[in-house]
Amino acid sequence: MSMPALPRDTSCLVFFLALLLLSWGGAELRADPPAGPPLLFDADAALRLSQQSLGRPLAAYALRDRGGKQIKLNDFNGKPLLLSLIYTGCYRTCSVATRSLAGVVEKAREALGSNSFHVVTIGFDTQNDNPGTMASFARQQGLDKDEHWFFLSGDRETLKQLMQNVGFFAIPSPKGFDHLVQATVVDGNGIIYRQVYGESISTPLLVEPLKDLVLGRPPTGETAVQNVVRRVRLFCTTYDPTQDGYRFDYSLFIGMFIGGLIIFTVSYQLFKEVRRSKKLGKY
C-alpha cells in the first residue's frame, strides 16, 4: 500500500526544517574547530607557529635514511643541524628551495668548515615520501653524493610530532600541500635556535646563525690557544656582498699591526727625547 502524498505546504515545511537542521549542525561543527593550527592555511598564523618553536629541544625522532637505515635526530647532536621539510611530489617550490639551500650550504662550508654542521632534509608526505622517493629527490637535486646531507622519511605519527616540534604547518591542497618554506637551525645541544624562510634564502640570514653556533660557542675540552683561534675566526670571517660569500678579513690584523707600529714609533721617539733631555741636564 502506497503512502499518502503530503500536502505541498507540508512538504515545503519539512524541506525547510531539514535545511535548518543541517545548517544548525554545520554551524555547531564550525563553532568548535579542533585545537591547534587553523584548518585553512594562513601564512601569518603559520609564521607565528614557527616562531613559537624557538628555544624548544628537538626530540629524538627515529627516521629512515635513503638506504632504509634508522637514524635518530639526536644522533646529530654535538654539531649544529640545519633541517628542512619538503615533500617529494612538489615539483617546483621544494626543488627550488632545496637548490637555493644547497648553494648557501656550500658557502657556509667554505667559511666554517666542510664538516662543521649537519644538513637534514625530511619528507613530510608520509603516503608518498619513503627511502626510495627521498633517494630519487636527492639525485634530482644533485645532492646524492653529499656525505654530510641526509635525506630522511618516517611514519605518519612521527612526522606529525616532528612538525609540531619545529613549528612546521602544512595542509593538503589541490596542488599538493600549502606550507611555509622553512629551514630550521638547531644548535649542538639539540635546541631550536633560528628559523629562516623563503624559496631563495639570503646567504647571511642562514650563515650568520650557523657562524654563531660553530665559532661562537667553545667546544668541550678547548685549550686556551684553540679558544683564541676560534675567536679570531669568529670576528674575522665576514660576509662579502660583492661575491655573495664569506671570506677571512685580514684587515683587522693589518690595522692592529699599523696601530702597534705607530705606538712603538711614538714611544721610541719619546724615550729618545727623555734621554736627550737628561743628558743636556747634566751639562
For position 215, which CATH number holds? 3.40.30.10
pLDDT at 262: 73
**Domain that residue 166 falls in:** 43-248
Query: pLDDT averaged over the chain?
Result: 78
Q: What is the CA radius of gyration of the chain?
A: 30
Residue 114 inside a domain? The answer is yes
Number of domains, the chain: 1
**In-domain check, residue 12:** no
Residue 240 lies in a domain: yes
Q: Which residues pair with 180 in a beta bridge?
A: none
Low-confidence ranges of the chain (pLDDT < 50): 1-3, 5-38, 219-220, 222, 226, 228-230, 234-235, 239, 250, 252
How is residue 46 written as a grid cell? 603559520
CA distances (Å), 193 to each of 2, 38, 83, 209, in order? 73, 25, 11, 8
Give the position of cell 605519527: 157
Cβ–Cβ under 8 Å, residues 120 and 83: yes
Q: What Cα–Cα distance (Å) separates residue 93 from each residue in 1, 51, 97, 198?
A: 64, 21, 6, 10
Q: Work out whether the CA dihedral 99, 101, 107, 112 comes out positive or negative.
A: negative
Residue 50 lies in a domain: yes
pLDDT in tens, 209-266: 998 898 775 544 546 554 544 455 544 555 456 655 555 554 545 555 566 667 777 7
CB–CB of 88/79 below 8 Å?
Answer: no
> Helix, strand or coil for residue 53?
coil
In a domain, 6, yes or no: no
Phi and psi, residue 173, nearest 5°: -145, 170
pLDDT at site 244: 58
